[in-house]
């Protein structure tokens, strides 16, 4: 199968140029001006940008919280992903208590294999850290997993600081990295009790229990743990100006830290919890304030933020109603996997906060590097995997859950006007999205990942 993309502007982190791109047998064969070769399909990308396929570093598909299961599984979640330009999702395979990492990996393959419309890899989220789990880590690398996750919060997942320290040393020495959900568990539990004692039970209490300092303390603590373990650290879903300051201070002390943020932290506002459907915004960390949004955008501009994931973790409004009388019982998370590129373009590129080249860096290249997929993925170059996005910057539209392909009946981005969007997607050398429509579902493949490329070391 040969596909020729003509007349587009090819965007890489190093610059942009008018060029045609020829794809053959799943790889990029040629990038040059005015390619005149036969192809099975010719795509006219005039007035469009051509990017390496986007990588979402943070999704939760088919995740069982114990109380309920996410609305999106791999079938629906990856359809939404690929239509939005995400050619690879990195989902959190989750080792719950009583499971081994091997169990979790087998389970996640069963959830994803043969049902995915984007490529997919797994981070391994661990709820226990002991000799038995450590004995499994080398097998995880052999199975293509070089990134892990630990939580400072959630009763079912929380590990101790000592466990994070030991795991960082152990996994860092093997070429891996651990993403950590940074919040102060004890303080937020105390604040939940305070709010309930005041009779404050609706979603507006959620951000009150988890103010900026709850995150910033967790980030600062992680930075000190990494200083002691001498291993790389990855802060997931960073949401605050104060948290970002802790990352920058740590870097000045020589700590190797990678920072991920998400569109909800530079587009949405804490006041939205007061809306009638405020439960849909209940996620952790919560939505923030204008100063935090400005700081996250500034971090994207100054390359302090490494990449943008979505933390897609969707629930229907019926599921969110589990907490209608008690905000702390609302399942945490929101939908966003389809909307990441258009939100980054609209809120960051079009406003002049970042360049198109930085968009390529934030949505693809740096994730491909840290998560062991570069240079097969993350950059448009000859020989790379043909995962390619044709992005139309002039396609104004209103985001709505009704037109999104995700499976839940709400979107935190409902009603937002985006100025451009993904038009066509080539996945593994095949045209799977054409004019915004998924024309070839289920073409996703498992991405076997190598050790991290630690570009900040
Ligand atoms: O609220 C969120 N973010 N839910 C998903 C799990 C996590 O914390 O990443
Ligand atoms: Zn988290
Ligand atoms: Zn998450």
Q: Each residue of 306-346: pLDDT tens digit?
A: 999 999 999 999 999 999 999 999 999 999 999 999 999 99
424: phi then psi, degrees, rounded to nearest 5: -130, 150
**CA 203 to centroid of ligand 1, rounded, Å:** 16
Residues with CB under 5 A from ligand 3 (ion): 311
432: phi then psi, degrees, rounded to nearest 5: -110, -25
- pLDDT for res 305: 98
**CA 70 to centroid of ligand 1, rounded, Å:** 11
Structure tokens at 249: 């201070």
Atom 2 of ligand 1: nearest residue by CA position: 333
- pLDDT for res 10: 98
Ligand 1 pocket by Cβ (under 6 Å): 60, 181, 283-284, 311, 313, 332-333
Atom 8 of ligand 1: nearest residue by CA position: 284
Closest atom of ligand 1 to CA, residue 284: 1
Contact assessment for residue 19 and residue 33, using Cβ atoms and an 8 Å cutoff: yes
**CA 19 to centroid of ligand 3, rounded, Å:** 37
Ligand 1 pocket mutation, candidates 59, 311, 329, 408, criterion most atoms within 8 A of CB: 311
Helix (H) or strand (E) holding 83: helix 74-83
Which one of the ligands is nearest to 286 CA? 1
Looking at every residue in the chain, the average pLDDT score rounds to 98
Separation between Cα atoms, residue 255 and residue 251, nearest integer Å: 5
pLDDT in tens, 83-100: 999 999 999 999 999 999
- pLDDT for res 193: 98
**CA 239 to centroid of ligand 2, rounded, Å:** 11
Domain ranges of the chain: 54-370
Residues in the chain with pLDDT < 70? Answer: none
Ligand 1 pocket mutation, candidates 237, 313, 337, criterion most atoms within 8 A of CB: 313
- pLDDT for res 238: 99
- pLDDT for res 174: 98
Closest atom of ligand 1 to CA, residue 333: 1
Contact assessment for residue 330 and residue 70, using Cβ atoms and an 8 Å cutoff: no
Ligand 1 pocket mutation, candidates 284, 285, 286, 335, criterion most atoms within 8 A of CB: 284
Helix (H) or strand (E) holding 49: strand 49-52
Separation between Cα atoms, residue 128 and residue 230, nearest integer Å: 21
**CA 315 to centroid of ligand 2, rounded, Å:** 15
Atom 7 of ligand 1: nearest residue by CA position: 284
Ligand 1 pocket mutation, candidates 283, 314, 328, 334, criterion most atoms within 8 A of CB: 283
- pLDDT for res 385: 98
Assign domain 54-370 to a CATH class.
Answer: alpha beta
DSSP letter, residue 376:
T
- pLDDT for res 72: 98
- pLDDT for res 444: 98
């Amino acid at each position: 199968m040969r596909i020729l993309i003509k007349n587009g502007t090819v965007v890489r982190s190093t610059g942009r140029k008018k060029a045609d791109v020829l794809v053959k047998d799943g790889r990029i064969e040629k990038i040059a001006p005015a390619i005149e070769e036969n192809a099975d399909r010719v795509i006219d990308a005039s007035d469009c940008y051509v990017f390496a396929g986007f990588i979402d570093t943070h999704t939760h598909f088919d995740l069982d919280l114990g109380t309920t299961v996410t609305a999106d599984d791999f079938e629906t979640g990856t359809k939404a992903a690929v239509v939005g330009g995400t050619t690879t999702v990195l989902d959190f395979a989750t080792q719950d208590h009583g499971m081994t990492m091997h169990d979790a990996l087998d389970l996640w393959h069963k959830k994803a294999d043969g049902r995915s419309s984007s490529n997919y890899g797994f981070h391994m989220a661990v709820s226990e850290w002991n000799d038995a789990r450590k004995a499994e880590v080398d097998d995880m690398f052999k199975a293509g997993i070089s990134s892990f996750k630990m939580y400072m919060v959630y009763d079912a997942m929380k590990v101790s600081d000592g466990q994070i320290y030991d795991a960082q040393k152990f996994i860092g020495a093997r070429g891996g990295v651990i993403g950590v959900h940074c919040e102060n568990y004890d303080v937020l539990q105390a604040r939940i009790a305070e709010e309930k004692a005041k009779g404050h039970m609706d979603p507006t209490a959620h951000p009150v229990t988890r103010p900026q300092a709850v995150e910033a303390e967790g980030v600062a603590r992680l930075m000190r743990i990494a200083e002691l373990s001498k291993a790389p650290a990855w802060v997931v879903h960073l949401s605050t100006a104060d948290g970002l300051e802790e990352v920058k201070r740590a870097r000045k002390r020589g700590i190797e830290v990678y920072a991920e943020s998400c569109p909800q932290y530079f587009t949405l506002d804490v006041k939205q919890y007061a809306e009638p459907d405020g439960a849909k915004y209940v996620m952790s960390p919560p939505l923030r304030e204008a100063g935090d949004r400005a700081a996250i955008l500034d971090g994207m501009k100054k390359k302090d933020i490494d990449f943008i994931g979505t933390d897609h973790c969707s629930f229907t409004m019926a599921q969110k109603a589990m907490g209608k009388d008690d905000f702390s019982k609302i399942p945490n998370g929101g939908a966003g996997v389809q909307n990441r590129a258009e939100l980054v373009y609209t809120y960051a590129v079009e406003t002049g906060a970042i360049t198109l080249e930085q968009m390529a860096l934030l949505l693809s290249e740096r994730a491909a590097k840290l998560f062991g997929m570069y240079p097969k993925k993350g950059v448009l170059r000859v020989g790379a995997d043909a995962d390619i996005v044709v992005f139309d910057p002039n396609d104004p539209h209103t985001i709505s859950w009704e037109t999104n392909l995700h499976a839940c009946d709400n979107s935190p981005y409902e009603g937002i006007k985006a100025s451009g969007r993904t038009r066509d997607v080539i996945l593994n050398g095949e045209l799977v999205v054409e004019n915004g429509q998924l024309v070839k579902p289920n073409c996703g493949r498992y991405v076997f990942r190598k050790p991290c490329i630690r570009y900040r070391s």
